[in-house]
Amino acid sequence: MTVVREQAGEKDAGTGSGRGPDPGRWARRMTIEPWGIQVGPVTHLAEEREGLAALTFETFDVRPLGATIGAEIDGIDLCRPLEDAVVADLRRCLTGYKVLFFRDQPLTPEQHVAFARRFGDLEVHPFIPANPDQPELVRFEKEATVGGFENGWHSDVSWRAVPSLGAVLHAVEVPPVGGDTLFADMCAAYDGLDPELQERIGGMTAVHDYSMVFGHTVKAADRAAMREQYPPVEHPVVRTHPESGRKLIYVNRFFVDHIVGMDRDESDALIDRLASEAETVEYQVRFGWQEHSVAFWDNRAVQHYASSDYWPQRRVMERASIVGEPPA
């Protein structure tokens, strides 16, 4: 028998903190048992959505795409050097919308690197091939013999002691259909958790390990050296965004091996529970690529998923990643 029950711990509409008007019983999240399917309005998104709508920027136009995540930016030419005021506005916009999209930006590799470098030092990825002339640009070149395996929710290089602040991805060549990238707001995901679960995970630490995904790419003779250079690292399960002050879920199924102090089964179940929050459609934005589109995302605040539905068509993307800070 199917039973519908109210979601325990549902926050009031319009906030992630319990303030604001009571939405009433029929504007609350419900759970359909025995499946655990949640339906109904995700009311805690309202306040942030309205706050984002009130933001204004002097140097470009903004078109919001998702409730609390994603905006398309118009009025900027990324191929040209940007004034400091534009960069400052983009930083503020990125903190709010978490991922920014740009159309018709035919960046050369040099221009791509120059734009990303306005926001910090750039990484060189040790496991993914790079553009031959720009080592800071990871090159994802997929076709019939090289499939796309990025179709799982993850945060880039969370296995680094200092993971990326963000990433700038440029579409060099796209298939006629498919190959979209989806982004999930992990701040909204945290705000949507039951208060009891928020309290439970507040002081937990997770172990992140590159070898879960990239271990098979390392030659046997190089494994000891790579392990010494990139040992497993511990990051908080709930990190605080250094600019917005928002708390967010910081575990993913690609790179998190276990939660410290838990037995394996309990740890696996909790990682799966928290990582699954990225799958909530209301926390997402989906971007359909065109040639020379650009996405700039805050790797601290979002997870992303590259849809691998275009095989055997060709898809070529290049990414510059900006060095961040240790999660706290």
- What CATH number should be reported for the domain holding residue 123? 3.60.130.10
CB 58 within 8 A of CB 28: no
Q: Is 12 a catalytic residue?
A: no
Domain count, the chain: 2
Q: Is residue 165 located within the same domain as residue 283?
A: yes
63 has catalytic annotation: no
Task: Note the pLDDT of residue 22.
Answer: 62
Shared domain check, 241 and 93: yes
Catalytic-role residue among 44, 112, 154, 170: 154
**CB count in 10 Å sphere of residue 127:** 15
**Same domain flag for 126 and 257:** yes
Give the pLDDT confidence score for residue 9 in this predicted structure: 46
Contact call for residues 152 and 305 (beta carbons, < 8 A): yes
Q: Which helix (H) or strand (E) holds 134?
A: strand 134-142
The predicted structure's pLDDT at residue 208? 98
Judgement on whether residues 32 and 78 belong to the same structural domain of the protein = no
- Sheet of strand 233-236: strand arrangement: 233-236, 205-208, 256-259
pTM: 0.93
51 found inside a domain: no
Report yes or no on 78 lying in a domain. Answer: yes
Q: In what order do the strands lie in the sheet with 37-39?
A: 3-6, 30-33, 37-39
Q: What is the chain's pLDDT, residue by residue, as a tens digit (328 residues)?
A: 455 556 544 444 333 444 445 666 667 888 898 888 889 899 999 999 999 999 999 999 999 999 999 999 999 999 999 999 999 999 999 999 999 999 999 999 999 999 999 999 999 999 998 999 999 999 999 999 999 999 999 999 999 999 999 999 999 999 999 999 999 999 999 999 999 999 999 999 999 999 999 988 888 898 988 899 999 999 999 999 999 999 999 999 999 999 999 999 999 999 999 999 999 999 999 999 999 999 999 999 999 999 999 999 999 999 999 999 999 9
Residues 219, 103 share a domain: yes
Q: Would residue 93 count as lying in a domain?
A: yes
Cα–Cα nearest to 68, from 103, 42, 91, 29: 42
Q: Do 66 and 198 reside in the same domain of the chain?
A: yes
Tell me the CA distances in angstroms from 263 to 124, 207, 209, 266, one per residue in order.
35, 13, 18, 6
Q: What are the b/e assignments for 273-298, b being 16+ CB within 10 Å?
A: ebbebbeeebbbbebebeebbbbbbb
Strand 71-74 versus strand 99-102 pairing type: parallel
Q: Is 319 a known active-site residue?
A: yes
Catalytic-residue membership of 246: no
Catalytic residue among 239, 241, 304, 315: 304
Q: Are residues 7 and 40 located together in one domain of the fold?
A: yes
Q: How many CA atoms lie within 13 A of 221 on its CB side?
A: 0
Query: What distance lies between CA 141 and its chain's CA centroid?
Result: 21
Q: Are residues 25 and 81 in the same domain?
A: no
**Which residue among the candidates 253, 258, 300, 319 is catalytic per the annotation?**
319
| Residue 192 covered by a domain | yes
Amino acid identity at 315? R
In a domain, 198, yes or no: yes
User: Are residues 40 and 65 both part of a single domain?
Assistant: no
Residue of 89, 156, 185, 298 marked active site? 156
What pLDDT, on a 0 to 100 scale, did the predictor assign at position 31?
87
Do 135 and 235 share a structural domain?
yes
State the DSSP code for 120.
Answer: S
What pLDDT score does 3 carry?
52
User: Residue 28 belongs to what domain range?
Assistant: 3-45
Same domain, 38 and 152: no
Q: Is residue 26 part of a domain?
A: yes
Query: Quick one: 275 and 183 in the same domain?
Result: yes
